[in-house]
């Protein structure tokens, strides 16, 4: 038995000190595999179902290892939970005093220099900044971290915060007059000294993307990384191994350049002298012209792929105008430097201007000249417009930069495998473990054993991790001599007793004209059977709004909420308090939302959450697979949908006392060849297409009109 298993087991300190603690076989198996990977090095892929306690399963071995371990999470909320609740508990029980540090992206921290400069600007006098600046002014005097999370009353989208937050573009380094008291400097000092460093995926991959041919870094060097919620790794990594420019980013750069040049004008005369004012005005116009030039291409659509032939005519002229304006403004800022020799802080601010202008020019050129193997697109969001370019396939990059470079890599999530069956041999405590490489081209075809050195396991046909391994660079032929282990740890919940999966056959196809009407009728019936407590999760904003409108007429008097009406946290609070409400939401509620207990008893999934076929990245990945002779639908769309379905299902059962219904209203699950594959990937709840069976189950659980205590909550 491993050391981690002993500590987490029935006779260990956790069982002795924590009331109600139960040793879970799946948790012990996961802890043993993590401990082995940290000791022997290599890669571990671990799917740990909801309720297995995977966080403790990797925290305990990480602390015991004595190695410098980065723990990376998908969200800042989970990052804070680990830092503020889970790790302190583990340290207390184990009696350890390992140094722990939390690192977030620079935009989460106040920059003292930018804050002071903003306070001195005319912009700070505008009424829209008054309340936020008052909050910041009082908070910054007491804060030890400068972390925006401490300012609960200042929203994440605050315009004022964007003006005073740190960023890689605006950070000066040791030359900054505030360097010694800088919040980011202190964060980095603590991380260098810590054994455990807790980050989020965005920061982790931002750092990884910098550790290339021209080395740079954000994080301290480390021996191992645990990537929690690892099913998000590919999409997040794409952001940082690509280029992403926004209109808001350019306009913010322009405002800060204006402030620096405005202060410099006190030394060298008005801004218009020497072209400063003219350069600022020209850049402002060039930015507006550039982004407006995409309007004919978008034609009212939210996003559009851009081929090489897009950069002609008006769009090319707009790009060249922006290029010249950036170059001219950089030259003006450099000319002003000779006039402010004695003001070090102002000199540093002025030096940032040409540097940022040059970086933007280089990024624009890279986007325009994007070669084969990359996809480029423009998109509009409610707040700004974005221009992006990213590699179509990151598998080689991740293999080289991550798996062949970091000694030990643990990838874990409740949803990593894309099939319910497992061809691995049973491992410790009934969990399934193996180490062979999957055949990524034909995942359903048996192949000879190809065991990796130092790994354990027996014969297997195909890997349930085949999809994620292929996407991340862990596919066939990867890592000669490198140890790779797989582990599937089922959830400890009794899904057959706790949940019913309802998949009706009598509804129209999702693309039929009457689908939303009929779906709303069926959802209303299900809501009455459970007494409310329902998430209705859709795959599009159009479906979300359509179902919300129809349910309002069919569920009079019942609390009904729509995603976007309030902040996400506020919606969840009123939903939990209600006990009988219905929340209609889209993608951001399919995962990462935790509502344990009786507040959530019904999860309705409008249809199978396939990837959006018109998304430029999806199109490019699909085309690449087709060029390799593979079906993009079978090798990309279906496995991605399986993972997303598991995430949606996972909202329902969060603890052993939870009960309820998951309803998938997509009749294609019965009529299409992929249906069985998707159903097999889901937890083993009772399956039925009969509403009467659902009625019997909800009655046996005491749900429905007579079985649910009523609460009141604002609509």
For residues 372 and 408, membership in a common domain is answered with: no
Is 175 domain-assigned? no
pLDDT the model gives residue 568: 85
Closest CA to 101 of 8, 225, 179, 187: 187
Q: What is the CATH number of the domain that holds 219?
A: 3.40.50.300
Of 47-56, 256-265, 270-279, the one with minimum mean pLDDT is 270-279
H or E segment to which residue 251 belongs? helix 247-268
Indicate if the pLDDT at residue 99 is higher than 60.
Answer: yes
pLDDT score of 429? 39
SS3 call for 502: strand
In a domain, 16, yes or no: no
Same domain for 476 and 410: yes
- Residue 104 maps to a domain: no
Residue 447 CA, distance from chain mean position: 34
Better pLDDT: 83 or 478 = 83
Q: Classify 588 as helix, strand or coil.
A: helix
In-domain check, residue 346:
yes
Residues 673 and 528 in one domain: yes
Confidence of residue 477 (pLDDT cuts 50, 70, 90): low
385: which 2 tokens? 């417009």
Q: Tell me: do 640 and 689 sit in the same domain.
A: yes
Q: Which structure tokens are listed for 54?
A: 């995977």
Asked if residue 506 and residue 548 are part of one domain, the reply reads yes
Judgement on whether residues 366 and 419 belong to the same structural domain of the protein: no
Backbone phi, psi, residue 623, to 5°: -60, -40
- E strands, 204-283, are 224-228, 243-246
Distance CA 290, CA 386 (A): 12
State whether 79 and 222 are in the same domain: yes
Residue 145 resides in a domain: no
Give residue 384's domain range.
273-391
Per-residue pLDDT, 215: 55
| Cβ contacts of 29 within 8 Å, gap of 6 or more | 427, 428, 429, 430, 431, 433, 487, 489
Of 185-189, 332-336, 474-478, minimum mean pLDDT range: 474-478
The answer, yes or no, to whether residue 101 has pLDDT greater than 70, is yes
Distances (CA, A) of 215 to 356, 381, 552: 20, 33, 56
| Domain-ending residue, one of 492, 510, 537 | 492
Would 467 be classed as within a structural domain? Answer: yes
Beta strands in 370-453 (DSSP E): 374-380, 385-391, 408-413, 425-426, 432-434
| pLDDT given at position 422 | 38
Size of the chain, expressed as the number of residues it contains: 715
Q: Within this chain, do residues 657 and 515 fall inside the same structural domain, yes or no?
A: yes
Q: Are both 653 and 541 inside the same structural domain?
A: yes
In the predicted structure, residue 173 carries a pLDDT above the cut 60: yes
For residue 198, give the H/E element and its range: strand 196-200
CB 516 within 8 A of CB 542: no
Q: Provide the CATH number for the domain around residue 321.
A: 1.10.275
Q: d(Cα 375, Cα 307) in Å, to the nearest integer?
A: 8
Can you tell me which residue has the tokens 């000669």?
480
Residue 110 counted as domain residue: no
Distance CA 210, CA 24 (A): 40
Q: At 339, is the pLDDT very low, low, confident or very high (cuts 50, 70, 90)? A: confident
Among 492, 507, 529, residue at a domain's last position: 492
Q: For residue 120, give the nearest of 164, 61, 154 by alpha carbon.
A: 164
pLDDT of residue 446: 28
Integer Cα distance of 143 and 137 in angstroms = 11
Do 503 and 551 belong together in one domain? Answer: yes
Is 421 a residue whose pLDDT tops 50? no
Q: Do 215 and 317 have their domain in common?
A: no
pLDDT digits (tens, 9 = 90+) for 184-229: 999 999 999 999 999 999 999 999 998 865 556 889 999 999 999 9
Asked if residue 633 is part of any domain, the answer here is: yes
Predicted TM-score (pTM) of the model is: 0.86
What are phi and psi for residue 228, nearest 5 degrees?
Answer: -80, 155
Give the strand pairing for 432-434 and 425-426: antiparallel
Per-residue pLDDT at 177: 85
Residue 478: what pLDDT? 64
Each residue of 537-563: b (16+ CB within 10 Å) or e? Answer: bbbeeebbbbbbebbbebbeebbbbbb
Residues 620 and 675 in one domain: yes
Q: Which of these three, 492, 516, 550, is where a domain ends?
A: 492
Q: Residue 617: is it exposed, middle or buried by C-beta count within 10 angstroms (0-12/13-18/19+)?
A: buried
Of 192, 199, 174, nearest in space to 108 by CA: 199
Q: Cα–Cα distance between 349 and 111 in angstroms, integer? A: 13
Q: Which residue has the tokens 């403004």?
A: 329
pLDDT of residue 275 exceeding 80, the answer is no
**pLDDT tens across 137-166, in order?**
999 999 999 999 888 788 767 889 989 999
Number of domains in the chain: 3
Q: Is 602 helix (H, G, I), strand (E, B) or coil?
A: strand
pLDDT (average), residues 65-83: 92
């Amino acid at each position: 038995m491993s050391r981690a298993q002993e500590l987490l087991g029935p006779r260990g300190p956790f069982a002795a000190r924590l009331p109600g603690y139960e040793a879970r076989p799946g948790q012990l198996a996961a802890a043993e595999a993590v401990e082995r990977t940290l000791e022997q090095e290599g890669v571990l892929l671990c799917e740990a179902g909801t309720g297995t306690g995977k966080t403790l399963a990797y925290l305990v071995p990480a602390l015991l290892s004595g190695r410098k371990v980065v723990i990376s999470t998908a969200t800042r909320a989970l990052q804070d939970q680990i830092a503020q609740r889970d790790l302190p508990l583990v340290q207390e029980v184990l009696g350890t005093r390992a140094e722990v540090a939390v690192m977030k992206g620079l935009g989460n921290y106040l920059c003292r220099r930018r804050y002071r400069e903003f306070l001195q600007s005319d912009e700070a006098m505008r009424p829209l900044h008054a309340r936020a600046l008052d909050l910041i002014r009082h908070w910054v005097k007491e804060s030890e971290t400068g972390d925006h999370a401490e300012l609960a009353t200042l929203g994440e989208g605050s315009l004022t915060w964007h003006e005073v937050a740190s960023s890689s573009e605006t950070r000066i380094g040791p030359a900054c007059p505030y360097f010694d008291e800088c919040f980011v400097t202190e964060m980095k000092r603590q991380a260098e000294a810590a054994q455990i460093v807790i980050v989020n995926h965005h920061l982790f991959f931002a750092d990884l993307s910098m550790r290339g041919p021209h080395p740079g870094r954000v994080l301290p060097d480390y021996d191992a990384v645990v990537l929690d919620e690892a099913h998000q790794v590919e999409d997040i990594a794409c952001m940082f191994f690509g280029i992403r420019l926004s209109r808001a980013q350019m306009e913010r750069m322009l405002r800060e350049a204006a402030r620096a040049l405005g202060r410099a004008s006190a030394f060298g005369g008005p801004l218009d002298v020497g072209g400063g004012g003219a350069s600022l005005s020209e850049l402002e116009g060039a930015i507006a012209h550039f982004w407006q030039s995409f309007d004919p291409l978008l034609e009212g659509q939210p996003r559009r792929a851009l081929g090489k032939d897009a950069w002609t005519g008006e769009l090319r002229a707009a790009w060249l105008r922006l290029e010249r304006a950036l170059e001219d403004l950089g030259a003006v800022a450099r000319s002003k430097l000779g006039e402010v020799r004695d003001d070090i802080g102002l000199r540093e601010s002025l030096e940032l201007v040409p540097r940022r202008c040059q970086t933007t020019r280089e990024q624009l050129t890279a986007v325009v000249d994007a070669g084969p193997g990359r996809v480029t697109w423009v998109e509009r969001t409610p707040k700004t417009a974005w221009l992006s370019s990213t590699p179509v396939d990151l598998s080689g990059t991740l293999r080289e930069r991550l798996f062949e470079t970091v000694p030990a890599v643990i990838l874990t999530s409740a949803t990593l495998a894309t099939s319910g069956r497992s061809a691995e041999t049973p491992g410790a405590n009934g969990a399934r473990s193996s180490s062979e490489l999957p055949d990524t081209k034909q995942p359903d075809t048996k192949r000879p054993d190809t065991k990796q050195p130092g790994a354990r396991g027996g014969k297997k046909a195909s890997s349930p991790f085949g999809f994620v391994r292929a996407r991340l660079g862990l596919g066939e032929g990867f890592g000669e001599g490198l140890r790779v282990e797989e582990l599937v740890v089922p959830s400890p919940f009794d899904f057959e007793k706790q949940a019913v999966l309802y998949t009706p056959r009598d509804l129209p196809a999702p693309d039929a004209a009457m689908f939303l009407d009929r779906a709303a009728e069926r959802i209303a019936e299900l809501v009455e059977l459970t007494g409310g407590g329902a998430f209705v999760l859709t795959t599009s904003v159009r479906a979300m709004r359509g179902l919300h409108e129809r349910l309002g007429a069919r569920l009079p008097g019942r609390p009904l909420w729509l995603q976007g009406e309030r902040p996400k946290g506020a919606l969840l609070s009123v939903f939990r308090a209600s006990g009988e409400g219905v929340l209609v939401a889209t993608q951001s509620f399919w995962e990462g939302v935790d509502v344990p207990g009786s507040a959530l008893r019904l999860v309705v999934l409008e249809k199978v959450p396939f990837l959006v076929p018109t998304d430029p990245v999806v199109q490019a990945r699909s085309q690449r697979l087709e060029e390799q002779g593979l079906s993009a639908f079978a090798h990309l769309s279906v496995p991605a949908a399986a993972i997303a379905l598991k995430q949606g299902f996972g909202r329902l059962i969060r603890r052993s006392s939870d009960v309820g219904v998951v309803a998938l209203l997509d009749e294609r699950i019965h009529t299409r060849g992929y249906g069985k594959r998707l159903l097999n990937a889901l937890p083993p709840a009772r399956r039925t297409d009969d509403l009467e069976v659902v009625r019997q189950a909800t009655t046996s659980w005491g749900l429905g009109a007579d079985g649910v205590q009523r609460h009141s909550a604002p609509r």
